Chains A and B, each alone.
Chain A
Amino acid sequence: MATILANNDNVDITMPELKFDITRVRHDFPTLNQSINACPLVYLDSGATTQKPQCVIDTTAKFYTDENANVHRGRHTLSENATIQYENVRAQTATYFGVNSNEIVWTKGATEAINLVANGLRKQVTANDTIIITPIEHHANLVPWQVLAQQTGAKLAAMPLNKDGTFDTELCLKFIKKQKPAIVAISHASNALGNITDLPAIIECAKSLGAIVVVDGAQSAMHLKPNLKILDCDFYVFSAHKMIGPTGVGGLYGRYELLNALTPYQTGGEMIQTVTLYESVYRDAPAKFESGTPNIAGITAFGAALSYLSQFRHAEIFEHEQAVFNYAHSRLAKIDGIYLYSSIKNNIGTLCFNYKDEHPFDLATLLDGYGVAVRAGHHCTQPLMAHLGINGSVRASFAFYNNYSDVDKFIDALQACIAILD
């Protein structure tokens, strides 16, 4: 059982003054400015999907209104413009992550990107290989590796995890050295807890032993804006909709030689060099992984999301998120009967908690009555919940558009819910 942080008077509640123009930012996100159940919306479910700024919404509408055409096909003006825009966003994404354009593959989300890698590695994996997974993974970064292991006979080995859901880096490194894995699949940040993984040490160790490191960046891509060349992972997956972009768009970064060596798991048009009736020659990455018409409007709108983010220094966003998160964490910890599972240090801004033995579903249902949007359940991390000895939890996940007032409303609502339940 995780530590209970009940009535912890030693926790200091601090509210540093924020430099970030949060009023303007909140104005840019129309969804935030509404009432739910006659209360102002307090959106604390950004871990599931972030809200979208007006520019992303406008770009989507503008694409379908004025610019719609297929990419890489027509020799007409609209198609050429759509292709330019589509490739520009690829370049923009590459810049965001500090990598090369040809190392970014568009997918419909992080889940598809992981499936692309796991399927693409099938020919390279044998029954003698070990794939390291971890207990904190989202099911999306577990099931594809289970399937790969079943198909190839490779062994799965789960990284050791402390009782409280954090990794002991030393133990992890020892484990990696012992297992000598072919692949390490690991999250940059836990979607349920928000805890940030000490990736640099793990990646360095795994790669020194020749392993391919696949990082699930769904939760970290926006909050941490990692430079992937510095992080030095081999593959990294992300979802646009968790980065203030549209749903149905995501991507895969792959170190070029490794990316190009993957076998395509979907085939069809656009990914081929030449086709005869009986055989085809594939194009090089990224084209060979992008068969069929992609989500052009979505990718164009994702470009608007990245432009929106680029108006801030990342440190500015991070500092704001951390200040609001720390305030929320310390206020939550002071409520008697709260079990907090998220670590306060090295956290992207997620609070995973329960109240006494109340069911998270009841708590989340009542919080919704006060306009507070949180998630309840196992967060697609059943092995992690089992590890923590719980069936599920409430998850409040923050983003840079949240403010101190959101925290106050959330805590007030939570106390009112507790009064109903007690």
Chain B
Amino acid sequence: MTNTFNKVSESIRNASVWQQKYREIMLLGKTLPSLLTALKIDDALVPGCESKVWMYVEFDLTENVLVVAGDSDTRIVKGLLALILALYNGLTPEQVLQVNAYNEFEKLGLISHLSPSRGNGIKAMVEKIQTMAKQKLI
């Protein structure tokens, strides 16, 4: 697991009660820079979400590493986005496929946020990252 992820998720891992866990998630979200308003366009919205999630997933052509950027209008989802960014940003396609976001969220007690019913965009983001990594390797 990447060091960045271990570092940013430490406070969540150490939270003794769920209330504290959510506080830490929201604090983490605060550290994530907001997307420029010009980038918060409908084309970048993850469709069908209760919350608004804008996401950009690209591979840096020179370095061949993943660049993920995103934002959300809700504090909890923004914190979860920060976790996903810490998990995947800067990884090569091979590395991306070795990371299992589901396992990591399970360990943090946050797996329900990746359930299909949540519709918070996090699951869609993980799927898009993985699909893009796979395509990159074909």
Contact between A420 and B23, CB atoms less than 8 A apart: yes
Interface positions, chain A 328-366, Cβ under 8 Å from B, are 358-359, 361-362, 365-366
Interface size class of B (residues with CB under 8 A): 10 to 19
Give Cα A362 to B52, complex, Å: 12
Chain B residue numbers with a CB within 8 Å of A268 are: none
CB of B105 within 8 A of chain A?
A: no
Inter-subunit contact B18/A361 (CB<8 Å): no
When distances are taken between beta carbons in the complex, the residues of chain A under 8 Å from B77 are 361
Give B57-90 interface residues, CB cut-off 8 Å to A.
73-77
Decide yes or no whether A292 CB sits under 8 A from chain B.
no
Which among A359, A391, A420 is the interface contact of B22 at CB below 8 angstroms?
A420
Q: Which of B1-28 contact A (CB under 8 A)?
A: 18-19, 22-23, 26
Contact between chains at A37 and B18 (CB < 8 Å)? yes
Instruction: Judge if B120 is at the interface, Cβ distance under 8 Å.
Output: yes
Q: Roughly how many angstroms separate A359 CA and B51 CA in the complex, as a whole number?
A: 8
Q: Would B19 and A361 count as touching, CB distance under 8 A?
A: no
A362 to B51, CA, bound (A): 9
A369 in the interface (beta carbon within 8 A): yes
Count of interface residues, chain A, beta-carbon cutoff 8 Å:
15
CA distance A416 to B23 in the complex (A): 12
Report whether B50 and A376 are in contact in the complex, using a CB–CB cutoff of 8 Å: yes
A304 CB to nearest B CB, Å: 28
Q: A376-B50, A377-B50 are in contact. Are A362 and B76 (CB under 8 A)?
A: yes
Question: A359 and B74: CB pair below 8 A?
Answer: yes
The answer to whether A361 and B22 touch across the interface, beta carbons within 8 angstroms, is no
The complex places the Cα of A361 from the Cα of B77 at a distance, in Å, of: 9
User: Which residues of chain B are within 8 angstroms of A421 by Cβ–Cβ distance?
Assistant: 26, 75
Whether A420 contacts B50 by the Cβ 8 Å rule is: no
Given A369-B18, A376-B50, residue A361 in contact with residue B120 (CB < 8 A): yes
Q: B73's contact among A359, A366, A376, A416, by CB below 8 Å, is which?
A: A359
Residues of B near A358 (CB, < 8 A) are 75
Chain A neighbourhood of B50, CB < 8 A: 361, 376-377, 392
Q: Does B76 lie within 8 Å of A369, measured CB to CB? A: no
CA distance A58 to B120 in the complex (A): 35
Q: State in angstroms the CA–CA spacing of A37 and B19 once bound together.
A: 12
- Asked if A362 contacts B23 (CB within 8 A), the reply is no
Q: In the complex, what residues of A have CB within 8 A of residue B75's CB?
A: 358-359, 362, 421
Chain B contacts to A: CB under 8 angstroms: 18-19, 22-23, 26, 50-52, 73-77, 120
What would 5 A/B residue contacts be, using CB atoms closer than 8 Å?
Answer: A359-B73, A361-B51, A376-B50, A391-B73, A421-B26
